[in-house]
Chain A
Amino acid sequence: MAQDRHLTTEQLSAYLDKQLSAQEQAAFDVHLQSCQQCQNVLDDLRQTVALLHALPQPVLPRSFVLPAEVIREAAPSAPVAAMRTSAPAPLHIDEGRRHVEQRAKRRQYVLRRTLRAMSTIAAVIGFIFLLTAIPIPLHAGGASTSSGTSGGAASAPANNPNASASAQPSTTMGTHTAAGQNAGTAPAKGTPNSGPTPAPTSQLQNGNQHTTQQSPPAPVSDILQNIGAALDPTVSGGRALDGLLLLALAILGFVLSRIWRSARTT
């Protein structure tokens, strides 16, 4: 039998749905009576359709009636004439965008909260560092020896247990003496600055002096170690520097979160 004489699947599918003209329908009837192959294809299509028809109606999981707040929110407030031009296609994009925006807002909120929490923690730790660093200049005067040393002893193991416990005792001793020297020179410069905020700047200078003093004997390779020493929390100068850095970070965090919020609300 010639291939082109057979009916196509599309013709048979349309035949099944009676989507043909009466003329076509009659012609196909004649062909089907004589052609088992097309009859088989038609049977398969018919049974596929029967299976789809036999699929049970799914049970509704819930009612999809719109709640009052959704109606209020989604109500077309624009005049009908203006809305007529808009097709339904962009609407679901609006809908999707709304969902995405809500999710993004929630994520931003969490991020902002995290940022502020971390800024607060940084600020607190920075203050502790600064406060424990301040009494060191008085250490030379001998007035608050106990508070200075106990504060240093309390904070040093907590923040850098390796440095105090196991790592080279000789270097920590060396830096302690250097700090002592710095502390000895500090009152000469720092006595006019009795307030808590100027004091750290003098301590910072001390820290810098401390590194520059250390660098000439060990010119190249020990610079990193010196930077580490400058930030060493077991030393008052290093602690002050750490405190300042943390405070600066905290302020940056707060400012960022404020900018973020104002950008979000506008």
Chain B
Amino acid sequence: MAKLVRDDEEQLIARSQHGDGNAFNLLVLHYQQTTYSFVLRMLGDPDTAADVTQDTFIAAFRGVASFHAGSSFRAWLLRIASNMACDHWRRVQRRPAESLDVLTDEEEPHGESLLSVLAATSIEGNPEERLLTQELQELIQSGLQSLPLDQRVAVVLCDVEGFSYEEIAASTQSALGTVRSRIARGRARLRTYLYQHRELLPRPYRLSNE
């Protein structure tokens, strides 16, 4: 998606801060894909993600006056989205024990190159489409949902939405070192999850040299 010219965005924000709903809706149009995608990866359910996304934009419009000109609007917006998604997750508490139980029972040795098989057959196998199979997408999604919320926010912002460490720090209101550590732990945990649930994948994606 084309980036809004910075001046244009600042103008739209300034107009929104004076109650101009049309200006704000231009911002919605620009950021709705990122926001929805983030919330969906956080929560997994499309209907819930749509509701949380809508609530995020309503809350953002109400609070747009508190946005400080010059900082990242995207980071500010996704902070609201992240708060709302985490609130929703805590309220619903899906699969509360899974992340603790499943991941502590065995420590996988690294270097089995399972993921290279996964990545090779799924990504490089059809390079023109770069599509993952439905099963693999679902496995990754449930892996994300098994992460603790702080790690999930950091990993989704970094590796799905492509935020920089600085933007994630701004969005989560935490220090760079904290962001770095959350991303690393989230990635490692997700890797272990994928390894442990490899039998859920159809044959071609399983580790061949087991």
* Interface set of A (CB-CB < 8 Å, partner B): 8-10, 12-14, 17, 19, 36-37, 40-41, 43-45, 47-58, 60-66, 68, 70-72, 74-78, 80, 83-89, 91-92, 94-96
Contact = CB atoms under 8 A, between A and B. Distances in A.
A88 B80 contact: yes
B184 A92 contact: no
A70 B187 contact: no
Given A64-B32, A64-B57, A88-B59, A76 B83 contact: no
- 8 residue pairs, one from A and one from B, having the closest CB atoms: A71-B21, A40-B111, A83-B65, A13-B184, A47-B115, A52-B159, A10-B184, A91-B63
B181 interface: yes
Contact of A10 (B67, B181, B194): B181
Contacts of B59: 88, 91-92, 94-95
Contacts of A50: 119, 123
A76 B64 contact: yes
Contacts of B184: 8-10, 12-14, 45
B71 interface: no
Given A74-B61, A84-B65, 9 more contacts: A12-B184, A40-B113, A41-B110, A48-B187, A54-B130, A56-B137, A83-B17, A83-B66, A92-B55
B191 A58 contact: no
A96 to B, nearest CB: 8
Contact of A88 (B60, B130, B181, B190): B60
A19 B47 CA distance: 36
B115 A44 contact: yes
20 contacts: A12-B184, A44-B191, A48-B191, A48-B194, A51-B115, A52-B190, A53-B159, A55-B41, A60-B32, A64-B32, A64-B35, A66-B58, A66-B61, A75-B19, A75-B21, A83-B65, A84-B66, A91-B66, A94-B59, A95-B62
Given A50-B123, A66-B25, A55 B160 contact: yes
Interface of B: 17-19, 21, 24-25, 28-29, 32-33, 35-37, 40-41, 46-47, 50, 53-67, 76, 79-80, 83-84, 87, 110-111, 113, 115-116, 118-119, 122-123, 130-132, 136-137, 140-141, 155, 158-160, 165, 180-181, 183-185, 187-188, 190-191, 194
Contacts of B65: 76, 78, 80, 83-84, 86
A88 B19 contact: no
A65 B191 contact: no
Of A43, A44, A57, A85, most buried by chain B (CB within 10 Å of CB) is A44
Nearest to A65: B25
Nearest to A48: B191
Contacts of B46: 58, 61
A62 B80 CA distance: 20
A185 B208 CA distance: 103
B13 to A, nearest CB: 12
A126 B202 CA distance: 71
Contacts of B110: 37, 40-41, 44
Given A54-B123, A55-B132, A45 B187 contact: yes
Nearest to A52: B159
A37 B109 CA distance: 9
B128 to A, nearest CB: 13
Contacts of B19: 75-77
A48 B136 CA distance: 12
Contacts of A57: 33, 37
Contacts of B155: 52
A47 B140 CA distance: 12
Centre residue among A78, A89, A91 by max chain B CB count within 10 A = A91
Contacts of B136: 51
A78 B118 CA distance: 54
Contacts of A70: 58, 61
